[in-house]
Structure 1
Amino acid sequence: MRFLKSAVFSLALMLLPASGPASAQGMPPEQIKQILDLTKANWVAFRDWEGQELVYFTHLESWKCGIDYVFYGVNGGPLDQEWELDECDPANPNAVLKDKPYIERPAGSTQSVSVQLVFPDGSKSALETFEYKPQ
């Protein structure tokens, strides 16, 4: 797993532009979309905590300057909920400052979470579904 994270990070660094139009994160929006596509397995994370299931959106928060909207649905339902991203801070674009970068759900209530991103150019990501496998 450490190798995979290192490889993704190295690839992300290679995608950094030498010059050209940049977003708030210092790279063109197309490259942010590529990084999000390469790291889509990390868009959502799960944790059991004190009798609840926590669904984390931390990874998406760290790329918020390249995302306009995050829509999600639970257990195969419609994408009828929006994860509200913090406002982009160009001076610190990857900072995750939310006290709770997650939603809380009752224990045993989450089988999956589906996510779709909307980018500043109006394009959408593929629908990604993340299966929850309690420990």
Structure 2
Amino acid sequence: MPRRRGRSRARGRVRLHGLDQLRRSLAELDGIVLEGAAAAVKESAEAVQADTRDRVRRRTGNLHDKLDIHYAQNGLSATVGWKDRPDWYASANEFGTRNMPAQPALGPALEEERGKFKARLADEIRRRLPS
């Protein structure tokens, strides 16, 4: 028998129960993910700061002591580095000059943390999810 094309004559109704609960759960999940992401960013920024402090050249201790973290976007973004104008020589230490070889500290710390961030983010979000 050949197959009919076009509209089917069978009609039915589908009822979905629990949509309100699903909407509430998804709304809560958004906050959980943002909270976990902010915690992961904070933990990673602090790890970069600590690793950089361990690596940085210490003549006077200024670069070690003034390395700072600045957070933005409700903690979802972090900048680790030196912000004071007198700390211009941090870039000379990091990249070197004609007369001084480079002694990178911040770059290697960032690269090391880059590989750990995805797992850190997943752990922080997983820790906050309801069981």
TM-score bucket of the superposed structures, by smaller chain: under 0.3
Structure ranking higher in strand proportion: 1
TM-score (norm 2): 0.25
Structure ranking higher in helix proportion: 2
Higher relative CO (Cα under 8 Å, sequence separation at least 6) belongs to: 2
**Bigger Rg over Cα:** 2
TM-score (norm 1): 0.24
